[in-house]
Structure 1
Amino acid sequence: MGKIRVNNIRLYAYHGCLEEEALIGSEYRVDIEIQANLDVAKTSDALEDTVDYVHINSIVKEEMQIRSKLLEHVAQRIIRRIFSELNTVSEINVSVSKLNPPIGGDVESVAIILQEKRI
């Protein structure tokens, strides 16, 4: 087993419960950590034997463009897609952060973190 991390995927999207968030949008950061069997890839040196982090990045970018009120909903969609499209992934940890959230204070970010294991 091994872990692959794709850190600090930065995007602009339109999530949130406020109408202004749908119009103006905000900056987001997504961090993904997956656990998968990397034993074959360690010796084969072949991309098809590992989890392609370009594929992970593409999933994140596509799902972040679908508007949701809650970051939890976006993160769950990302998890479902990764499990659906990347069969060797056994566990996923996803963090979605909204940078400079409109919450009436000087706050750098808010984040949700979801972790799931393949059933």
Structure 2
Amino acid sequence: MTDRIFINDLRFYGYHGVFPEEAVLGQRFRVDLTCELDLAEGARNDDLTKTVHYGELAQLVEKIGKTRRFKLIEALAEAMATEIFATYPPIEKLTIRITKPEAPVPLSTGVIAVEIERERTRD
């Protein structure tokens, strides 16, 4: 599969983290998403119904990040992957990177992120 939809640097404020103060104070998160699917029919016919509406996809990712609570950003990424596959059957594979710009670790600089890759399973 060589067709992809990219959503990069989607930002939201959420309450994910292991520490109690993260659940109370919250922090900013960033998401990069790559979805692999066949875009040929939508492209040939200039038809949104034959592809995935990236605006709605971005809203789904943001909603999960803002309304659910996870201790681990790994669990947040997995929840996003599960919901994306359930909502958008054309998506065959996806990569989700979640970045925690202000992770509570004693570093003077740096970026903390988790990235997962998942493929749709067919029964």
Q: TM-score, normalised by structure 2?
A: 0.92
Q: Which residue of 1 aligns with 2:111?
A: 109
| Secondary structure in structure 1 of the residue aligned to 2:98 | strand
> Unaligned regions of 5+ residues in structure 2, if any?
none
Q: What is the aligned residue count? A: 119
Instruction: Note the C-alpha offset of 1:36.
Output: 0.4
Q: Which residue of 1 aligns with 2:65?
A: 64
State the Cα deviation string for residues 39-96 of structure 1 (Å, max 9, x = none): 1011111111111111211111111021100001000011011100101000010001
Deviates more, 1:52-61 or 1:9-18: 52-61
Q: Which residue of 1 aligns with 2:89?
A: 87
> Unaligned regions of 5+ residues in structure 1, if any?
none
| Partner Cα distance (2:83, 2:37) in 1 | 15
Deviates more, 1:87-96 or 1:106-115: 106-115
Runs of 4+ in structure 1 over 2 Å off = none
| Secondary structure in structure 2 of the residue aligned to 1:89 | coil
State whether residues 36 and 89 of structure 1, in contact with CA within 8 Å, keep that contact through their aligned partners in structure 2: yes
Q: TM-score, normalised by structure 1?
A: 0.95
User: Percent identity at matched positions?
Assistant: 28
Instruction: Note the C-alpha offset of 1:109.
Output: 2.2
